[in-house]
Amino acid sequence: MATTQLADIPGLFRCETVSRTDATNQLLALTKQLRGGATDNEVYTVHQHVDCPPEVLYDYLLDIRSVEEFTYSMRNFRPDGNGRYVGEDATEPATKIHLRISGNREVGTVDYESAFDQGDDLWMVFCGRVLSARRVQQRSGSLVSWTIWRHPYYAKNPYPHLSPRRGRVWPGSFWPVFHACDVLELRNMQQILEHRRRARPTTVAGR
């Protein structure tokens, strides 16, 4: 999966094309929209329609290389030898991201469990689901959703002694804009998969 292919897709929300300042402005503006009404700040769900077969979307989500494509700045993942992966935040290279991906293909669930700085306590849990849009909405393609609950560790670093450098801002403190970030990252996912499908069209019976 060559990341260079992404250069052909305009408008992706990735650190290579959107500066940290511009990303912050986008996130704050979208957060204002998302939080404009009555909301529960302890949990949120993001969702997206993608014009590709559900099995294609599901395989994409389970592929660690995909995380480096549709996320804003999670890059350079490699196996850690314990069934997990470790990568880095490209906007804060000293910060390591530890991730485990698991799923149940039969029902379309896919979970991302992750944490900053260490891989023994994967406290950030993203609960995902992939469904056939034909089954749910009588339309072609797929539906994907993520649900994320606010863990207490977002507010305070549980392992300050593992921080890579003095004075680093705790990444979990950005919880207020994570909702907006996940919306934009699912849009990235949609654009990438639909771009590739147009470039290499496939036909799947019943989709």
Amino acid 207: pLDDT: 37
Amino acid 7: pLDDT: 82
Which residue(s) pair with 140 in the sheet? none
DSSP code for 109 = E
Task: Count H helices and E strands in the chain, helices first.
Answer: 5, 7
Q: How confident is the model at residue 32 (pLDDT cuts 50, 70, 90)?
A: confident
pTM given for the model: 0.83
The string of pLDDT tens digits covering residues 100-155 is 999 999 999 999 999 999 999 999 999 999 999 999 999 999 999 999 999 999 99
3-state secondary structure 128-159: EEEEEHHHHHCCCCEEEEEEEECCHHHCCCCC
Tokens 């009404």 appear where?
37
* Rounded mean pLDDT, 160-173: 94
Which residue(s) pair with 85 in the sheet? 79, 99
* Rounded mean pLDDT, 4-19: 87
Domains in the chain and their CATH numbers?
3-34+41-199 (3.30.530.20)
Amino acid 204: pLDDT: 40
| Run of H or E including 74 | strand 74-79
* Rounded mean pLDDT, 57-83: 96
Amino acid 5: pLDDT: 82
Nearest Cα to Cα of residue 179 among 40, 78, 1, 38: 40
Amino acid 206: pLDDT: 35
Q: How confident is the model at residue 97 (pLDDT cuts 50, 70, 90)?
A: very high
* Rounded mean pLDDT, 1-14: 78
Amino acid 39: pLDDT: 53
Find the range with the poorest average confidence among 32-46, 56-70, 75-89, 177-191: 32-46
Q: Determine contact, residues 103/61, Cβ cutoff 8 Å.
A: yes
Amino acid 34: pLDDT: 77
Q: How confident is the model at residue 56 (pLDDT cuts 50, 70, 90)?
A: very high
The string of pLDDT tens digits covering residues 172-206 is 999 999 999 999 999 999 999 999 999 885 544 33
* Rounded mean pLDDT, 18-37: 85
Amino acid 146: pLDDT: 97
Amino acid 41: pLDDT: 80
